[in-house]
Amino acid sequence: MVTEGLVGLVREASRIGLLEGIFVGYKGVEMKLLQFADDTVFFCQPKLKCILAIKVILRSFEIASGLKVNFHKSKIGAVGISDMDMNIFSNSLNCGSMTLPFVYLGIRIGGNQRKMDFWNPIIHKIQSRLSMWKGILLSMAGRICLIKSVISVLSLFYLSFFKAPKLVCKAIKSVQIRFLWGWGTEGRKIPWVAWDKVCLPIEMRGLGVRDIFIFNSALIAK
């Protein structure tokens, strides 16, 4: 009922011409509102009347539902407008402003996924999880379990949305190999089994570790 009420307010503001959405895709589909879990994203043209319409919608939503919108946690972002207009819009909504790229639900929005810089946070996060003591104290079986349950899952969200470049897959694979064959010890350790065999299913005498490149392709195909 709460969601339907907000959608109804947006529809009514659009009907009387106060809220103008943006058009996306080659078919020019108009977009004004997206909701995911407890997050709501408004899209509108860079016009003051649209910003004020959103403010009225949120205030009406508060009165009708009894819920409170936290404007201090809300952000407004724009593309192709001046800093002065951006300040006017943010002050009108009494919220902060953001610039591209930004992080939303754990994913960088507005970055170039074809570049290594876009994926560096994921690679660094994987490396940080493989601290020195884990590599020294864990057995081989423990390392394999950690690779399966943690390392592959850390990049799951990104791999579900973006096609990872081969250089990124190679970097993640390198971290996995170093951890499996002696992360935290001095010197370079020799991989005793080819990584292709490590990634084979257990019934095919492999270890069942996910191959990042194949895993990414499967998620994108889904």
In this predicted model, what pLDDT tens digit does every residue of 64-94 receive, in sequence order? Answer: 888 888 888 888 988 888 889 999 999 998 8
Q: What is the residue-averaged pLDDT of the chain?
A: 84
Q: What is the pLDDT of residue 45?
A: 92
- Residue where a domain stops, chosen among 67, 99, 131: 99
Do 134 and 211 reside in the same domain of the chain?
A: yes
Which residue, 55, 73, 99, sits at the end of a domain?
99
Q: Are residues 95 and 174 in the same domain?
A: no
Q: Let me know if residue 105 belongs to a domain.
A: no
Among 71, 99, 127, the domain-final residue is 99
Q: Is residue 150 part of a domain?
A: yes
Question: How many whole angstroms separate alpha carbon 198 and alpha carbon 143?
Answer: 13
Same domain, 6 and 87: yes
**Range of 49's domain?**
2-99
Mean pLDDT, residues 177-186 = 73
| pLDDT at 184 exceeding the cut of 60 | no
Residue 198 has pLDDT above 80, yes or no: yes
Look up residue 115 and give its two tokens.
């570049």
Tell me whether residue 8 is in a domain: yes
- In the block, tokens 């790229």 appear at 101
Among 141-150, 179-188, 199-208, 212-221, the minimum mean pLDDT is found in 179-188
Same domain, 177 and 146: yes
The confidence score (pLDDT) of residue 132 equals: 60
Same-domain status, 13 and 69: yes
**Tokens read off for 60:** 């009406």
Q: Is the domain of 14 the same as that of 87? A: yes
Quote the number of domains for the chain: 2
Task: Assess if residue 205 is contained within a domain.
Answer: yes
> And the tokens for 102?
């930004």
The answer, yes or no, to whether residue 199 has pLDDT greater than 70, is: yes
Structural contact between residues 74 and 44, judged by C-beta atoms closer than 8 angstroms: no
Instruction: For 5-58, write each residue's pLDDT tens digit.
Output: 778 888 888 888 889 999 988 888 888 988 877 788 899 999 999 999 999 998
Q: What residue type is assigned to position 103 of the chain? A: V
Tell me, yes or no, whether 71 and 18 share the same domain.
yes
Nearest to 212 by CA among 157, 145, 156: 156
Is 65 within a domain?
A: yes
Query: Do residues 81 and 134 both lie within one domain?
Result: no
**Band of residue 101 on the pLDDT scale cut at 50, 70, 90:** confident
160 and 116 part of one domain? yes
Decide which of 99 and 131 is more confident. 99
Average of per-residue pLDDT across 190-215: 87
- The per-residue pLDDT for 160 is 87
pLDDT of residue 64: 83
Q: Does 82 share its domain with 176?
A: no
pLDDT of residue 131: 67
Q: How far is CA 126 from CA 14, 120, 123, 146, in A?
A: 45, 10, 5, 11
**Do 7 and 49 have their domain in common?**
yes
Evaluate if residue 161 carries a pLDDT over 60. Answer: yes
The span from the CA of 1 to the CA of 3, in Å, is: 5
pLDDT for residue 183 is more than 70: no
Whether 43 maps to a domain, the answer reads yes
Q: Kindly state whether residues 79 and 47 are assigned to the same domain.
A: yes
Overall average pLDDT of the 114-119 stretch: 88
